[in-house]
Amino acid sequence: MAYVRVFDNETQVAGAAAVIIASAILHKPNVILGLATGSTPIPTYRELIRLYQNGVLDFSRVITFNLDEYCHLPAEHACSYHYFMRKHLFENINISAGNTHLPNGNAPDLAKEGIRYDMAIETAGGIDLQLLGIGRNGHIGFNEPAEQFTYESHVADLTPSTMEANSRFFEEEDMPFQAISMGIGSIMSAKEILLIATGMDKAEAIRKSLQGDIRPQIQASILRTHPKAVYLLDQAAASQLDCSKA
Ligand code: PGA
C-alpha cells in the first residue's frame, strides 16, 4: 500500500518532494534518479535548484534517467523533454551532461532504442528514486491506459486525453502523437517511488489509482504493489479520496 501525504498547496508538495530527493542525494552522492516532465514537477525542480545554489546539494555525481520523450521531435525543440530538462533543471545545477539520460525519440529504430534504454538503466544499477507525475487518465510516464501493463520501454500512441492535456505546450504546430516511454518494469524496479499530484484535474486519477482496482486501464494503480511508494498530494488532488478507506 502506498504511503499518502496531503498538503495544503502545491508549494508544500514541492518542498516535501525536494526534501525527499535531497535526502537521497545526501545519502548517496551518485544516486540514480528517475525524473519526470510536465507542469507538476517544475516547482520541485525549482526547490532543488535553490538547495544547490545554497550549497546544500552537489549534483556532480548524480545520474538521471527520464521517463519519456516525444517521437520525431528534435531534441532542440522547445517542446521536447530534452529541452524541458535542460531549462527547468540541468542547466541550473552542476550535473554532468554525460550523467543525464533521456530516451532518443529520433532513433532510426525505436524498438531498439527501447531495449538500449532499459539496458542502460540496468547497467547503471537500476533507479534508486523515481519521481512521477500522473496523467488525468492515470498514466505514468507515457504508459497509457491499456489492456495490459507493458514492462519494457516502448513506443506509445498517445490517447486523446493526453493529446488534449499536452497540446497546451504546442502553440502553432501539431503535437507528436507518439512517445517513447520507460515501461512499468523499470518504474516498478525503482527502489523508491515518489508520485506528486496537484490540482483538481488529477483528483479522479488519484482516487482511481489509490482506491480503485489495480488494473492496466489505470496504470498508476500498480504502484500500490510497490513496497516503497509515496504519494504527495495537495488538497485538490486528494479531494475525491474516500477517507474511510484510508
Ligand atoms: P502534468 O503531467 O504534470 O503536466 O500534469 C503529468 C503527466 O502527464 O504525467
Task: Write the pLDDT tens digit of every residue in 114-147.
Answer: 999 999 999 999 999 999 999 999 999 999 999 9
Task: Write the pLDDT tens digit of every residue in 6-38.
Answer: 999 999 999 999 999 999 999 999 999 999 999
With respect to residue 203, please indicate whether it lies within any of the assigned structural domains: no
With respect to residue 209, please indicate whether it lies within any of the assigned structural domains: no
Residue 173 pLDDT exceeds 80: no
- Residue identified by cell 482516487 is 207
Full residue range of the structural domain in which residue 118 is found: 3-181+215-233
Residue 177 pLDDT exceeds 70: yes
With respect to residue 33, please indicate whether it lies within any of the assigned structural domains: yes
Tell me if 153 sits within 8 A of 115, measured CB to CB: yes
With respect to residue 206, please indicate whether it lies within any of the assigned structural domains: no
Tell me if 191 sits within 8 A of 126, measured CB to CB: yes
With CA atoms as reference, report the closest residue to 64 among 42, 82, 46: 82
- C-alpha span between 69 and 14 (Å, rounded): 23
Domain count, the chain: 1
Decide: pTM greater than 0.95. yes
How far, in Å, from the CA of 83 to the mean position of ligand 1? 16
Q: What single string gives the DSSP state of each residue in 141-205?
A: TTB-S-SS---S-EEEEPPHHHHHHHGGG-SSSPPPSEEEE--HHHHHHSSEEEEEE-SGGGHHH
With respect to residue 59, please indicate whether it lies within any of the assigned structural domains: yes
Residue 164 pLDDT exceeds 90: no
Q: What percent of the chain shows pLDDT beyond 90?
A: 91
Task: Write the pLDDT tens digit of every residue in 98-116.
Answer: 999 999 999 999 999 999 9
- Ligand 1 pocket test target in 134, 158, 201 with most atoms within 8 Å of CB: 134
> What is the DSSP-derived secondary structure letter of residue 241?
-
Tell me, what CATH number does 71's domain have?
3.40.50.1360
- Ligand 1 pocket test target in 10, 13, 35, 40 with most atoms within 8 Å of CB: 40
Band the pLDDT of 213: cuts 50, 70, 90.
very high
Tell me the CA distances in angstroms from 42 to 16, 122, 139, 227, one per residue in order.
13, 27, 18, 26
Active site residues: 68, 137, 139, 144
With respect to residue 199, please indicate whether it lies within any of the assigned structural domains: no
How far, in Å, from the CA of 39 to the mean position of ligand 1? 6
The mean pLDDT value for 221-232 works out to 98
How far, in Å, from the CA of 66 to the mean position of ligand 1? 14
Tell me if 68 sits within 8 A of 131, measured CB to CB: no
**Mean pLDDT rounded to a whole number for the chain:** 96
With respect to residue 201, please indicate whether it lies within any of the assigned structural domains: no
With respect to residue 246, please indicate whether it lies within any of the assigned structural domains: no
H helix count then E strand count, the chain: 7, 10
